[in-house]
């Protein structure tokens, strides 16, 4: 299990079981484990997700993002829900919670 810190200072965990579940559903992410973690630690954007989730976006190339969805349960605990590649994100339509300067 790896633990990284969100921009809110919350430790976010990614277990081996969760990562296996993610790559079973998104096999194109197989070599992107560190990138999925890095998207939370060093995102380009954080947007509002569903059901109190956050979506950390890391732009890999023009109009291609790695999106990592995570939840902060408390100030001391959070976890990664899923991760996926996205190319159709229209940032002007999203609720941007944090942006890289």
Write down the pLDDT at residue 88: 80
Q: Domains in the chain: how many in total?
A: 1
Tokens matching residue 6: 């969100």
Q: What is the pLDDT of residues 14-73, one digit of tens each?
A: 999 999 999 999 999 999 999 999 999 999 999 999 999 999 999 998 889 999 999 999
pTM for the predicted model, two decimal places: 0.94
Range of the domain at 91: 2-99
User: Which CA distances in Å does 81 have to 45, 49, 72?
Assistant: 17, 11, 11
Write down the pLDDT at residue 90: 83
User: Which CA distances in Å does 43 have to 2, 21, 29, 80?
Assistant: 17, 23, 17, 14
Q: Distance between CA 64 and CA 62 in Å, rounded?
A: 6
21-55-100 Cα angle (round to 5)? 135
């Amino acid at each position: 299990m790896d633990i990284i810190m969100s921009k809110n200072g919350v430790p976010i965990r990614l277990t081996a079981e969760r990562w296996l579940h993610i790559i079973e559903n998104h096999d194109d992410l197989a070599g992107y484990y560190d990138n999925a973690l890095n998207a939370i630690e060093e995102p380009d954007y954080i947007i509002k997700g569903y059901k109190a989730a956050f979506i950390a976006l890391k732009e890999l190339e023009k109009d291609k993002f790695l999106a990592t969805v995570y939840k902060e349960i408390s100030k001391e605990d959070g976890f990664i829900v899923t991760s996926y590649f996205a190319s159709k994100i229209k940032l002007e339509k999203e609720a941007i919670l944090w942006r890289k300067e």
